[in-house]
Amino acid sequence: MIETRRDGASLAIAAEEIRLGTIVRFLEEGQPLVECFAAGGSDCTIGGHCRLKLRLRWAEAAFIADLDRSTLADIALARPLPA
């Protein structure tokens, strides 16, 4: 997604093609929203009786789906006009 050069970094693809959900999924990979979402499970004492976990999964999916509706270009600051 990013190319580095001697004078800095630039996007390898257009900002209009980069979905915000893609960025968040990449940055949050391996970091579960809550402990019980971790691959190895958790030490939660109410794990078999919890009624919140499913709702948190839905909320997480809705959050990412909403981000997927926008691109990096949608939120980028406009370049300043040359002096």
pTM above 0.75, yes or no: no
Task: List, for residues 17-34, the tens digit of each pLDDT value.
Answer: 999 999 999 998 888 887
**pLDDT for residue 2:** 60
Q: What is the residue extent of each domain of the chain? A: 2-75
Task: List, for residues 49-83, the tens digit of each pLDDT value.
Answer: 788 888 888 999 999 999 999 999 999 988 777 87
List Cβ<8 Å contacts ≥24 apart for 62-71. Answer: 64/21, 64/24, 64/25, 65/21, 66/21, 67/19, 67/20, 67/21, 67/23, 67/24, 68/19, 68/20, 68/21, 68/22, 70/19, 70/20, 71/15, 71/16, 71/17, 71/18, 71/19, 71/20
